[in-house]
Structures are given as C-alpha cells and as structure tokens.
Structure 1
Amino acid sequence: MPIRIPDALPAAAQLESENIFVMTEYRALHQDIRPLRVLILNLMPTKIATETQIMRKLSNTPLQVEVDLLRTKTHEATHVSAGHLETFYRTFDDIRDIHYDGLIITGAPVEQMPFEEVDYWPELCQIMDWSTTHVHSTLHICWGAQAGLYHHYGIQKYDLPAKASGVFEHYLVKPQSPLVRGFDDRFYAVHSRNTDVRREDVEAEPQLEVVAVSDEVGLYIVKSTDSRRFFVFGHPEYDTDTLRLEYERDVKRGLNPQVPAHYFPGDDPTAEPRNVWRSQAQLFYTNWLNYYVYQTTPYDLARAGEEH
C-alpha cells in the first residue's frame, strides 16, 4: 500500500527509485478512504536521511499513511537547509490541535547529556504530554526511547563503558506479542548509542513489559501494557551504510572509535558491510502500524488519544 508524502520532498524520488509505492497528495485526495495520519518528530541532525529511512519502513501498510514532519522550535538545526525545514516541517504550535493515529519520536545525538540540559527538553516534554491526549500510538526510537521512559515512568539512563555500536543478535522475551509476529527466534538489529536503560528497572515498572533483548547490549523492544507506547533501543530504520558513515565521521573527528561489532565482514572497516537486519526492521514497523495503529485507532480521528 502507498505512503503519502508531499510531492516535492527529497525522499520521494529515492523511495520511488526503490519501487516503493509513493502516492502524491493530488492522487490521495481523490480516494475516499481515510489515511492513517502519522507524525514524525525528527530529532536527528541528518534529517533528510532519517526521513527517507523511516518513510521506507512505513510504506508497507494496510492503508495510505499520511506523514507530517515535526521539528523542535527551541533548537536550530545546522545539518539541513532552512528552506527544507520551512517547506516540509511543522512546529508544535502548528499541530497542537491536531489528532494523529501514530507518532514516531526519533533518536538524537545528545545521549551523554542529562535530559534536563538538552536545549529542547521542555518542548519535548510538552510534546510527549500532548501525545497522551492527541495520539493513539507512539513509537520512541533510541534516545527517544530513553527520553520517553524517563519522562513517563522516571526510569534513568546510564553511561556505557564503551559505545554500543554494531549489529547484535537478539531473542524474544514475549514471542506471543503481535509486535514481533513473524520474527525469527533469533534475529539481528542495529544499535548505536552511548547510554543504556537497565532491564531490571523496566521490569520493576508494572506498566511496562519487555518484548526483546540481546545478551550483548541489553534491551531492544519495550512496550506499555496498554499498548499505547513503544520503545525500541536500536535503529531498525538504519540503511546498510549508516553505521559505516557514523564510524568514518568519528574517525575524521579523531575520536578513535571502535569498529562497529559484527558489522563489517571480518571486522575489517574496508570491507563492504552486509545488511542482516532489513527484514526484521520492516516487519517491526509493519506490525506496529497494523496491530497497534490501523486495527485499533478510532475512525473518528478527533478521538485519537482516548482510552480504548
């Protein structure tokens, strides 16, 4: 099924070149079905790349998915043109009275800062509070997952002794969850983070449940028991070369980074990495949209955010 995005968004050409069904706004207006409305709060500095990665995963859905892009007003992005932000992004003031079927909050390169020292933290808290009454289902990614757990449940993050970067094997703690329906018993996922949330802290919170973990890097998927909030601590949306680009960036900065684990064949950074996480990543997004957005969201979107 198609994903509906603005006609001129740079991601459109890339997605169409991959034979992903992208529907123009003009064509979508001539269909009578109600699209799912999904808001992406993009906190990543590489905004265009992140837009494309997430929209690629949203493409395999039961209905049209109408995407709005949201940025924080209290932080000035420096890795994307002002024109791109002005053309394609909204601020919270623009959408505060709108209801959405789904919200995705991305990661951000601010993990090692205390939450309260992040310049847009008050605005992010306002958006997360707003989501409880205006969004049916919210998906938090990486630092966004840590931020969501801290804000909603008071769960702390902790610095890791070394960055968790690479492709790691995982297993299911709750295989009966529709969120992981179709997953292999053992599957691979990408992590790229400097901080961690402890499994025992999550399991001590009765409103949360652990769905998938890794022996090497801990938590991967956590959800609320009411199936309104989802937290993924990796980056299922990452492209094949994203970890390599991050590694090469850190090498150029003189940070002496470790080679991402289990990513390059033979741990040789000159070798071409293989993508072994693409299928589970697509399945994760598809399951979230199908079971926790499409099948449960109210048809009257003004009721999104109500308890069901």
Structure 2
Amino acid sequence: MPLNLPDKLPAIEILKKESIFVMEDLRASTQDIRPLKILILNLMPLKISTETDLLRLLSNSPLQIEIEFLGLSTHTPKNTPIEHLMSFYTNFSSIKNRYFDGMIITGAPVEMLEFEEVNYWSEMTQICDWARTHVTSTFYICWAAQAALYHFYGIKKYPLDKKLFGVFKHKVNDPSFPLFRGFDDEYYAPHSRHTTLKAEEIKQHNDLTILSESDEAGVYIATSRGGREFYVTGHSEYSPLTLHNEYIRDKEKGMDNVAPPLNYYKNNDPTQPPLVKWRSHANMLYINWLNYFVYQATPYNIHDITLLGNL
C-alpha cells in the first residue's frame, strides 16, 4: 500500500519520478483501511529534502501510512519557505490530544550547544514526554537521540576531536532482535556529527539496550521500553548525495580542516562519485520498525495506546 500524503507536498512529485507509489488525501479517503498514523517532527534545516528522504524509506512497505508533519512553535526555521511550513506543518497544541502509531524525530544542527541552551529545548522535552503516552513507538535520529537519552536518562554527549563524517561499518549485538530481520552480519550507515555517546553510560541503565555498534562510530542504535523508543545516532535516511552536499557546504563556509567523508567516495577520492553502501540497510531498518514495533504493536483503537505500558 502507498503513503497517504498531504496534497501538493513537494516530495510527491520527486517520489513519483522514482516510481514510488504515493496516494494523496482525496484518493486515500475512498479506501476502507485504518492507515498507520506516523508523525514526523522535522528539525533539520533543509526540511523538504529531509521529508523526501524519510518518505522514500517509509514508502517501501505494504502498509498504508498516513503522514503528518510537526513543527515547533518556539523556533522559526530559516531555510524553508514559510509558505511550505504553513501548508504542511502543524504545531504541538493542535495534536497534543491525539494519538499516533509511530513518530520520527529528526536530528538538528544544534549539537555544539548544551541541551538547555537550545532555544526550543523546553518544547522538545514536552514533546518527548507526550510521545511516551500518545505514540506506540518513537524513532529518535542523531541529535534527537542524544537529546532524548539526556532528557530521560541523564546521559551526556561528548565532543569529538574531529567530526565523525562518512559511512561506517556496524555490527548487530543481537541478530534475533526483530529490528534486524534480514540484516547481514555487517552493514553500513552514514554518520555526520561532532559529538558522541559513551556506551558505558548507556549500559548503566537497565532499561536501555545497545542493539548495534561500530568500531569507528561507536553506539549506533539503542532501545528502551520494549521497543517503544529507538535511539539512532546515524543517518540511515540520507540520500546518496547528502554527505557530499554537507562537505561542499562546509568547505564553502571556510571551515578549518574540512576532511572529505570517509568510506563514501570511490577510492576515498572526492572527485569520484559516492559509492552507496547503506541503501538496503536503511530500507530494512524502517520496514522492520514499521512492521514489528508499530503495526504489530499498536492497538486497532488508536486511543488505547495509553494502555500499552511497556511492550
């Protein structure tokens, strides 16, 4: 089944050109199916690109999925037209009494700030708390993963000597865990961050489990509350050229010691095109999350999410 997206969302035409079947609101309303309701809090600066990247992965499922985008009332993005935000994004006050099968909270370009210094920190934590009682499973990405682990468990982030930038090999700690159905023994995922988490601090909390790690990139995926929450420190959703565009952007800003992303360009040569090694992993990650931790876990009556407790 297709994605059910708001009419005229820019991602629709991009995905159709990629032969991805999407369904706009009008047509979806004619099908007698209870779609999964997925809420996306998009904190990335280039929101249209991030929307497309996430929808590309969510579309690769037999389930009908209804997408809604959430914005912040306490922060005004600078890189997305206000008309786009007004047309396709809602605010927290409009949805706080509703329930969702799944939620995705993206990364944000604020990791060099202390969490409390982020101007929307109070609203961010309010949304995280709300998700625990109004969402079946929440998928935190990059900075959002760090933010949620800090808010819920007091786990700190630590600055790296240099930016972790590139595509890195990962291992699965528990191959029987449903999130990794169909995964190879080793797989790749992109990272782009200046800070990291310490595995030993995560392991101090009995409610947290580290599911996947990398010798180079450290903790990649952790979970809590029986799959009600996933914390993903990398960017499996990145399109083939995202790391390249970040590299060019940083060079144009004149940032000191900008190194090309590792294990990304052919022969690690930035004049060569990227070699995409993470596409299959990314698709399996999102399909398994939707299947095992959203679709199979959520009640048919969506208002019964409050009765789930820990899965």
| TM-score, structure 1 normalization | 0.98
Summarize deviations over 1:150-207 as a string: whole Å, max 9, x none.
Answer: 1111111100111000000111111111001111001110000010011111111100
Partner of 2:136: 136
Structure-2 separation of matches of 1:73 and 1:268: 42
Partner of 1:166: 166
Percent of residue pairs identical: 50
Partner of 2:268: 267
Count residues in correspondence: 308
Partner of 1:278: 279
Summarize deviations over 1:237-256 as a string: whole Å, max 9, x none.
Answer: 00000000000000000003
User: Once superposed, which parts of structure 1, at least 4 consecutive aligned residues long, lie more than 2 Å away?
Assistant: none
Letter in 2 for 1:75: H
Partner of 2:106: 106
Partner of 1:226: 226
Structure-2 separation of matches of 1:27 and 1:227: 33
1:209–1:225 Cα contact (<8 Å) kept: no
Structure-2 separation of matches of 1:44 and 1:228: 23
Partner of 1:39: 39
- Which residues of 2 match residues 3-14 of structure 1 at below 5 A? 3-14=3-14
Structure-1 separation of matches of 2:261 and 2:220: 17
Letter in 2 for 1:114: E
Residue aligned with 1:304, SS = helix
Partner of 2:242: 242
Letter in 2 for 1:173: N
1:156–1:197 Cα contact (<8 Å) kept: yes
Letter in 2 for 1:292: F
Structure-2 separation of matches of 1:62 and 1:209: 29
Letter in 2 for 1:280: H
Structure-2 separation of matches of 1:26 and 1:166: 41
1:263–1:274 Cα contact (<8 Å) kept: yes
Partner of 2:296: 295
Summarize deviations over 1:4-59 as a string: whole Å, max 9, x none.
Answer: 10120000000111111101111111111100000000000000000000011101
Structure-2 separation of matches of 1:61 and 1:131: 23
Summarize deviations over 1:214-249 as a string: whole Å, max 9, x none.
Answer: 001101111114210001110000000000000000
Per-residue deviation, 1:303: 1.5
Structure-2 separation of matches of 1:262 and 1:190: 9
Partner of 1:72: 72
Per-residue deviation, 1:269: 1.1
Structure-2 separation of matches of 1:17 and 1:232: 29
Structure-2 separation of matches of 1:101 and 1:206: 25
Structure 2: gaps (5+ residues): none
Against the structure 1 CA distance between its residues 28 and 216, is the aligned structure 2 distance closer, same or farther, given a 3 Å change threshold? same
Structure-1 separation of matches of 2:248 and 2:89: 29
